[in-house]
Structure 1
């Protein structure tokens, strides 16, 4: 986490299997999952990133991803803050 101007920036990186390029555009949609139906049946509702994006939007922030299939994903979050000094 770091501060830049009037924003808090968070970068979350993993070395998982990544997200295929064709699914990256839909990853913040409700019930979206990169897994097949049977793989996600017990592991994911497909709502996590959708809800996260909505909450960050309420805070006037932004969320984006960079992902390479087979290499991993990086999630970037930027949230404005007001310094109360």
Structure 2
């Protein structure tokens, strides 16, 4: 018999091991086997009281592992634009 995993609800602050595994793109078995190694690398441990992993901590851990930042567009206020004609070259 399958029990619905309420941690997949977008309002749930904590995720089950199954939620964490799917978030990492891995199988539940892989995650359970590799969790100690992940935790040695800073991956969040389960909350001792709740018994689940805080989703925001998982997302923060993933964010710290990123190698390429999001594209940031610099905006110049209209009054600060250069009057130089760069097309004259």
Whether these two folds match at TM > 0.5 is no
Structure whose residues are more often helix by fraction: 2
Q: TM-score, normalised by structure 1?
A: 0.26
Q: TM-score, normalised by structure 2?
A: 0.25
Structure whose residues are more often strand by fraction: 1
